[in-house]
Structures are given as structure tokens and as C-alpha cells.
């Protein structure tokens, strides 16, 4: 049985926030103290490490579920299917709907149920549920869809990654500049194309990995409101130590030679980190890194968590990311790392 992605879509918010927008910010350290470094130098160093020049924020009247539904509509049109024929709607996210100006995330009802409503799907056999798996959530959703179809529980699934991280960041935390909003979606179903060749997922929790990405109070004030927090250096070191091996395990399970790999769609977390992961991945095979293997959009999109991989894949499929192209029959690798700490990958033939 072959299972593949037959349609994709994305929703990239139109509100552009450039690095210069943070020039009037006051950033604080974990103890609530101001940095001695001028704000311009902080922003310049941030850009040189992450590669981020600008990011996208959702319009004030839109939530994650709205972005998810918009991306889903495009994916459904791309696949040329009747939405009533969907067996599952799987929405990966981390913070639910967080209305603009609110201090509380809304996860009841689920985002998936909201998306089903927005798509006006009436079929009660279309099951809608949310998936919490950190930034690798969308890839894990595709893996779950693959399992449902292989088990005969479904024929067609809609998998979405959506987030509005701009609403859960601590604006006095330098890491606030990393995060962004967006949504990406895919239709996963039985297909004549080979599609998913292998997958690999792992979770690390035994060496304090659980505390690398977390929810905690602001650096500025003591109150009940909590925000996304990250131990950046530890995340970087963890990713370099563990992601390349997970990617290799996935590729080896597919029986694919490293030389056959055409593109790697990796979670857009940090430009230097992603490049370092790819270097270590190819080093495991004692192989040279091919030119053009690593499409990236973090420079203009920022880190939208679960949305980065499907958004990036959709851009390349539509020939909308520079000179990056993929053709039918090409073998690509999807990979991600994030809170949990979770890592996953899929070897995929387009």
C-alpha cells in the first residue's frame, strides 16, 4: 500500500514584523536585569545567529484555528477532493487559540473541531482531534495518518500545523524575536505514488530535556501569566547531538542511499543550528553536502513551530522559494525537533 501527500496549502500572515521593530524594546535577563549591550547589537547578533530578518504575525482578529482552516482549504483544493470524504482532521499545535490581547490559551473545543466547523464538514465520521508534540507536531500527524490508513481505519486524512506564537512570547525576552505565526496543511491518502518510505520518532526526557522548552513567568514582573521560554544553548546542543542520528535512522529504514536524497525539509528553528545539523548528518555517512539540499524560509518567516515544515514544503512544491525545485520521484527527508524533547523524521518519495 502506498500512502502519500496529494495536496498542500499554507497560510502565511500578511503582517510583517522586521527586526528593526524591536529597536525600542527593553530586553531583560532571567533575573529581570537589563543588558549592558546596546539594543542594536543585540538585534544584530540575533540576526547573525538565527538568520531571521523578519517574521509574520497574524491579524488581530484571527486565531490559530482560522489560519489552520485557510491552509486546509488550499490543501483540499490542491488535492481536488471533497472535504466530506475526510476520515480524520489532525491539527498539531502547542498553545491552542490565543485571542489577541488575551492571557489565556483556548483549547476547548479542540482546534481540529473548530477547523471542521470552519470547513463546513457535516460528516460525523470525519474525526477531528488535536496533537501536542512540540514543533515536530505536523510530521507526527503525518505519521499518525499513515498508521490509520495502513490499519484500514482511514483512507484520507487532513494534517495541519498551526500556531500564533506571537501571542505567547514574553516581550522582554530576547527569544521573543524568534517566534512567528502561520499554518501549513496536507492531505495524506492512499496513492499510486510511493510516498512515505519510512519514519522515525523519539522522545528524550531522562537528562532534564523536559526543561529545555517550557512555560514560565515573565522576566519583567511576578504574576500568574506565563509565556514560552527556551534554554537556547541547551536546545542547540541537544539538537546537534541527537537530530542527525534520528534522521540517519529514518533514512536507513527506507533503504535509501544518502546520494539519492534531493531535499531536506527541516524545522525552521535557527539557521545556524539547522545548517550544523545537516553537516553532522552528512558526516555520519562520510558524504559531501550537495548544493541546494537545504531550502530555508526562516529569514522572512521566523519560527512558526509546527507550521514551518509544511509551509516550506508547500513553497517548494509551488516553485515559490528561489531556485529550489522538486520533481515527481525525488526522495526528500522531513525532520523536526522540539519541546518534549521530541525528534522525528520521514523519508518520502514525491
Please tell me whether residues 172 and 201 are part of one structural domain.
no
Last residue of a domain, one of 143, 158, 193: 193
Please tell me whether residues 112 and 143 are part of one structural domain.
yes
| Cα–Cα distance for residue pair 255/169, rounded to 1 Å | 42
pLDDT tens-digit map of 28-50: 888 888 888 899 999 999 999 99
Is the pLDDT at 224 greater than 70, yes or no? no
Averaged pLDDT, 204-225? 84
- Per-residue pLDDT at 43: 93
Rounded to two decimals, the pTM is 0.95
Q: What residue has cell string 545548517? A: 275
Last residue of a domain, one of 164, 193, 222: 193
- Per-residue pLDDT at 106: 87
- Per-residue pLDDT at 309: 98
Is the pLDDT at 221 greater than 80, yes or no? no
pLDDT tens-digit map of 319-329: 999 999 999 99
Quote the domain boundaries for residue 54.
3-193
Lowest mean pLDDT segment, chosen from 22-26, 314-318, 327-331: 22-26
Is the pLDDT at 222 greater than 80, yes or no? no
Sign, CA torsion 212/215/220/222: negative
135-164 as b/e, with b when 16 or more CB fall inside 10 Å?
bbbbbbbbbbbbebbeeeebebbbbbbbbb
CATH number at residue 77: 3.40.47.10
Question: Please, are residues 154 and 85 in contact by the beta-carbon 8 Å criterion?
Answer: no
Please tell me whether residues 103 and 42 are part of one structural domain.
yes
- Per-residue pLDDT at 19: 95
Amino acid at each position: 500500500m502506498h500512502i502519500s501527500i496529494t495536496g498542500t496549502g499554507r497560510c502565511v500572515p500578511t503582517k510583517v514584523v522586521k527586526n528593526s521593530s524591536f529597536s525600542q524594546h527593553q530586553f531583560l535577563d532571567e533575573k529581570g536585569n537589563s543588558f549592558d549591550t546596546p539594543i542594536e547589537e543585540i538585534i544584530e547578533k540575533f540576526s547573525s545567529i538565527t538568520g531571521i530578518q523578519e517574521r509574520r504575525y497574524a491579524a488581530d482578529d484571527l486565531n490559530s484555528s482560522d489560519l489552520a482552516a485557510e491552509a486546509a482549504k488550499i490543501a483540499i483544493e490542491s488535492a481536488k477532493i471533497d472535504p466530506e470524504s475526510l476520515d480524520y482532521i489532525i491539527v498539531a499545535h502547542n498553545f491552542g487559540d490565543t485571542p489577541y490581547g488575551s492571557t489565556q490559551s483556548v483549547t476547548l473545543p479542540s482546534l481540529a473541531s473548530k477547523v471542521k466547523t470552519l470547513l463546513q464538514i457535516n460528516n460525523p465520521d470525519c474525526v477531528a482531534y488535536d496533537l501536542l508534540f512540540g514543533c515536530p507536531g505536523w510530521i507526527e500527524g503525518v505519521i499518525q495518518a499513515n498508521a490509520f490508513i495502513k490499519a484500514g481505519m482511514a483512507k484520507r486524512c487532513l494534517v495541519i500545523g498551526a500556531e500564533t506564537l506571537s501571542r505567547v512570547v514574553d516581550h522582554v525576552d530576547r527569544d521573543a524575536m524568534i517566534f512567528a505565526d502561520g499554518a501549513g496543511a496536507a492531505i495524506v491518502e492512499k496513492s499510486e505514488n510511493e510516498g512515505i518510505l519510512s519514519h522515525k520518532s523519539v522522545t528524550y526526557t531522562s537528562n532534564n530535556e523536559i526543561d529545555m522548552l517550557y512555560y514560565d513567568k515573565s522576566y519583567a514582573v511576578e504574576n500568574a501569566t506565563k509565556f514560552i521560554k527556551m534554554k537556547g544553548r541547551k536546545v542547540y546542543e541537544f539538537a546537534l547531538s541527537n537530530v542527525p542520528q534520528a534522521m540517519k535512522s529514518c533514512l536507513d529504514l527506507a533503504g535509501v542511499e544518502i546520494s539519492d536524497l534531493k531535499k531536506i525539509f527541516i524545522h525552521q528553528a535557527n539557521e545556524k543550528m539547522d545548517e550544523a545539523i545537516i553537516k553532522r548528518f552528512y558526516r555520519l555517512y562520510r558524504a559531501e553536502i550537495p548544493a541546494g539540499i537545504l531550502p530555508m524560509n526562516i529569514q522572512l518567516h521566523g519560527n512558526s513551530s509546527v507550521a514551518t515544515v509544511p509551509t516550506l514544503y508547500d513553497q517548494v512544491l509551488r516553485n515559490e522559494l528561489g531556485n529550489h525545485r522538486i520533481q515527481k520521484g525525488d526522495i526528500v527527508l522531513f525532520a523536526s525537533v522540539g519541546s518534549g524533547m521530541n525528534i522525528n523524521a520521514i523519508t518520502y518519495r514525491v
